[in-house]
Chains A and B, each alone.
Chain A
Amino acid sequence: MTAPFRFYQSAPTLIAEQDQFEKDVKEFTAGNIHPVKFKGIRVAHGVYEQRQEHTYMIRIRCAAGGITPQQLKKVAELGDKYGGGEVHFTTRQEVQVHEVLIQDVLKVIRGLNEVGLSSRGGGGNTIRNILTSPLSGVEKGEAFDVDPYAIALTTRMIHEADSWNLPRKFKISLSNSAEDTGYTQVTCLGFVAKINDKGEQGFEVYTAGGMGAKPMVGRQLYDFIPENKVYQVTKAMKIMFDKNGNRRSKYSNRIKFLWKKLDRDEFVRLFEEEYNKIKDDSSLDLVLPDLKNEAKADISISPETVTGEAFELWKKRYVEAQKQDGLVAIKLPLRLGDIYKEDADVLCDVLAEFGENVIRCDRAQNMRLRNIPEAYIGNIYNAIQKMKMHLSDIPAFIGNMINCTGASTCKLGICLPRGLSDAIKDRLVESKLNLDNIPEFKLNMSGCPNTCGMHHVADLGFFGKIGRKEGEMYPAYNVLAGATVGAGITKYAVRQGDIASHHVPDFVHDFLENYIEEREDYDNYHAYLEDGGIDLIKSLCEKYKQVPLLEEDPGFYKDHGARRRMRLDDMGTAECSAGMFDMINVDKRFIDSFSKALEEGNEEENLFKILFHSSRMLLVTRGLDSKTETQAFELFGKHFVQTALVDERYGDVVTLGKLGVKAELPKHKDLILELAGDIQALYKKMDDSLRFNVAPKEASTAEAASEVKKKDYRGVACPMNFVKTKIELEPMGSGQKLEILLDDGEPINNVPNSVKLEGHKVLEKEQNKEGYWRVLIEKK
């Protein structure tokens, strides 16, 4: 029996990682792992916490947006059994299971193993799902099929350990033509298929694109690279990003920020430094899978014939001929990107008859079916008609609307675009506007400034904001318009105004009514916008400016589909890249709280905790992870004390900590508190690349407090002799003594007086036979 077809192969370490994750989940449930640390662990397994506490969403990788009918069926089964019921198709061509409780998370993940799917790297600072044009391989007029590259690249990347701990997420996409339906210019690294003058296949390469709150259109890195260099470019970019990315701030460390920080020349130079090392190594070339877009040889069911107006209309809306003769691709629009188990079963059972390479997810949260022989179009139609929830009977415009999940599940959400999407759908369907005239219109909505709903690349886009009237919050949206997508010409939509959430359906209706009526007069949508469309948007924002007072219409202050009034107190921080700095802060807070507790007594226990958290706090910056207290002390001793990142005199208390001799600790109270202070100071000094910038230690740091410190400043001119004296005095404790040697003349006439002016005492001043002076100072 041959192995079943897979869109990617999971890494062999996956099971071991899941075993570890299972242990971590148990430890977390038992209260032994802090939620923040657990977050860092789980997001890397594609497990995100939802707005409801202890409820999780699991994101499943689909390379090139591909999933087999058997796989989809399994995901639906798991979603039904352990989740909220639906399989959600995302705007990043992957699927998610929602509302999974903590005790079921591993059951879902293990269940996915059975069909070769994985949630590893669904979130976190990793190589994210690799995207392609949804019709790659079947589209007429494409340069060539890019799916095999995405698939091979996915497998290669998820096998490499360094893909899992990047400075920030790393998104890759590929387009099958310059139309750029893979959106390569809005992603970290993008490849656009092209054929050069010599007829060779290759890619135009873009980098440093990205949407989000600080959007940037990708820049061209290469006009053409040979088709076999995709891996080398990706690998070099990954290494370069890993070395130079800003790990300290999770808000400004995507590749686009690195480009901004470095400027083009430096960015390219650093990239090519890595690329040139591996560019010509053909052993690294991707081994492309033999991905066939063809009719399955032995179809066991018979064709079903359907006739009638409804069927013909559906065909017109959703069925298109592939470049392969006799085969068709079918778009299956899903309501809000969701499909439930019953529907998935009906659909997948039929689809399985046509092979395994038959489904793609697209970025509009819809399914794309492919490789269906023309004779069997009726079978697919009948299957869809048996589904309980789909949008195939209404114009494609509706299904093409994109919305993120918003505040219903996402911790960042402000508004509820799912509710809005339904409200717009209802308003438009009822309106009788001829939406079939604008099937490809992009109406995209995000619940917050992050761009999960792709509002930056919309024809008409919205992103959530808080409106306020008389101090009361109501849901509202910013309005954007006029994006362009295409290799080298991508431009983001521009904000035009804002509008209350409850006015959006009417706003959309009024705008589309005008556009549908006038579009014939214009070459394209942009021309329409320029010649009045933008003005119309602005005047509609004005027209719908009225917001009723809370007393007049409380419903207005509740978002579409919301159960209660808008509130932000349950909003959280981004789930995606928790990790290091959050963990450091946890230890920092513990140090503070145990330091406070120390004032109340219980010295042994509190000092031990301070010592422990001080030791553990910065381990993570060295890539070290301690499972136990003992291990934390051990690692700290090895990587911080022995390397002189902190003073060697702390070595003994760290050993006491390791041995767990708590009774001895009160004797070393000051030293432990000093260590806590030093660790926090060290953290402050750390730069974005996690270097501590510590000056080399001087030899005599371990001097006891009672000893007199001696410094020789003979030959040091004024005022540097005083500067150096000040620097020596500053860290000393009150009453400690410093002895300095000074030259005769200006130095002895000035330095002691200056020292006194600062409030210190000059205890002795005596001239030596050779003429220089010895001055003994007591710190104030």
Chain B
Amino acid sequence: MTLNDQQVERYSRHILLQDVGLSGQEKILNAKVLIVGTGGLGAPAALYLAAAGVGTLGIIDGDKVDMSNLQRQVIHFTPDLDKAKVQSAKEKIALINPDVKVNAIEDLFLAHNAMDILKDYDFVIDGTDNFPAKFLINDACVMAKKPFSHGGVLRFDGQTMTHVPGEACYRCIFDDLPPSNAVPSCSQAGILGAIAGMLGTIQAAEALKFIIGKGDLLTNRLQMFDALKMKFREVKFKKRATCKVCGENPVITELKDYEQPVCDIRQK
């Protein structure tokens, strides 16, 4: 038995669950999750995963906390303005749960460092705000055979799916990057803060389910919701033989950084 009394108490509501129990909690404590981006999605995901006792949380983000972030990126507080986001997040995580080891990487997730960063983790959460990063995360995870949760939010809408090796990937449904400016970014279109929270916590739940090995993951289906109407919709899709990265004849065999203007926030 490895849990001390405080831990038993801290995680008691997990241990009570038949699908988690002590062994599930031990898995969580031994798990390593990488969160790419500590913004709207990464912030709630990080908070919940830290509280859940995920043993190692990797957080990577090259940005500093900006005033416009505070409306939804709930891991950052007003006194953190101008602080590196990963530093701010690391401090909060330590306050929530000292059991959690945080690898804070103040950098962008790019082709040259992706594989190296990924390799130590069991699960990846895509909390990024731009398509080049989303496709890069997909390609890197497919190549490294790592499961990951995709998430995207805009205005009042959200969408998420989970990839595990061997099942459909993000490119199976979205073949390639949309043309520049075809899709507005958060800074252009706006976002209701709570939407990011809804989606980030779905992603955290997927990560935890994967870790304990219970339930049905969002694989081969895309979950979408419109929070203005508060309607959820699921679209089923399959692994595509002609997929550029996970298909039978992949044309993407090495990572590259796609060029597209990223969210304006970052360029400020």
Contact = CB atoms under 8 A, between A and B. Distances in A.
Pair from one complex: yes
Provide the main secondary structure of the chain A interface. mixed
Nearest to A701: B1
Interface stretch (A1-9, A80-88, A363-371, A724-732): A724-732
A727 B21 CA distance: 8
Given A251-B116, A730-B23, A758 B2 contact: no
Contacts of A668: none
A261 B16 CA distance: 35
Given A251-B116, A468-B253, A727 B2 contact: no
Name the residue among A722, A723, A757 with the largest chain B CB count within 10 angstroms. A723
B18 A758 contact: yes
Interface of A: 213-214, 249, 251, 260-261, 263, 466, 468, 471, 495, 684-685, 687, 693-695, 719-720, 722-724, 726-727, 730-731, 754, 757-758
B170 to A, nearest CB: 22
B2 A726 contact: no
B116 A724 contact: no
Interface in B1-58: 1-4, 8-9, 12-13, 15-16, 18, 21-23, 30
Contacts of A730: 21-23
Contact of A724 (B8, B106, B120): B8
Given A468-B253, A684-B30, A726-B21, A213 B1 contact: no
A260 B59 CA distance: 13
B9 A727 contact: no
Interface of B: 1-4, 8-9, 12-13, 15-16, 18, 21-23, 30, 87, 101, 103-106, 112-113, 116, 120, 253-254
B128 to A, nearest CB: 20
A495 B12 CA distance: 51
Nearest to A684: B30
A720 B3 contact: no
B10 to A, nearest CB: 11
B1 A731 contact: yes
6 contacts: A214-B116, A251-B116, A260-B105, A684-B30, A730-B21, A757-B18
Contacts of B113: 214
A569 B113 CA distance: 23
Nearest to A688: B101
A249 B120 contact: yes
Nearest to B250: A471
B3 A695 contact: yes
Contact of B8 (A466, A687, A693, A723): A723
Contacts of A695: 1-4
B22 A727 contact: yes
Contact of A466 (B12, B18, B254): B254
Nearest to B14: A723
B18 A727 contact: no
Contacts of B2: 685, 693-695
B116 A727 contact: no
A687 B104 CA distance: 17
B8 A471 contact: no
A207 to B, nearest CB: 18
A214 B107 CA distance: 11
A392 to B, nearest CB: 39
A468 B254 contact: yes
Nearest to B103: A261
A684 B9 CA distance: 23
| Among B3, B13, B21, residue most surrounded by chain A Cβ atoms (within 10 Å) | B21
Contacts of B15: 723, 726-727
Nearest to A249: B120
A758 B15 CA distance: 12
A214 B105 CA distance: 12
- The 6 A-B pairs at the shortest CB distance, nearest first, are namely A723-B12, A730-B22, A695-B4, A723-B15, A727-B22, A468-B253
Contact of A727 (B8, B112, B254): B8
Nearest to A473: B253
Contacts of B106: 260
Given A684-B30, A695-B3, A263 B120 contact: no
A87 B223 CA distance: 64
Nearest to B253: A468
B246 to A, nearest CB: 15
A727 B1 contact: yes
B8 A722 contact: no
B6 to A, nearest CB: 10
B255 to A, nearest CB: 11
A233 B213 CA distance: 50
A685 B7 CA distance: 15
Contacts of A687: 101
Contacts of B254: 466, 468
Nearest to B115: A213
Contacts of B120: 249
A730 B25 CA distance: 12
Given A468-B253, A726-B15, A726-B16, A213 B116 contact: yes
Contacts of A263: 87
Contacts of A727: 1, 3, 8, 15, 22
A65 to B, nearest CB: 32
A197 B24 CA distance: 64
Contacts of A468: 253-254
Contacts of B101: 687
B243 to A, nearest CB: 16
Interface centre among B1, B103, B254 (most CB of A within 10 A): B1
Contacts of B4: 695
Nearest to A465: B254
A720 B21 contact: no
A769 to B, nearest CB: 30
B82 to A, nearest CB: 16
Contacts of B105: 260
Contacts of B22: 726-727, 730
Contacts of A754: 16
Nearest to A248: B120
A289 B259 CA distance: 57
A724 B16 CA distance: 9
B83 to A, nearest CB: 11
Contacts of A724: 8
Contacts of B112: 495
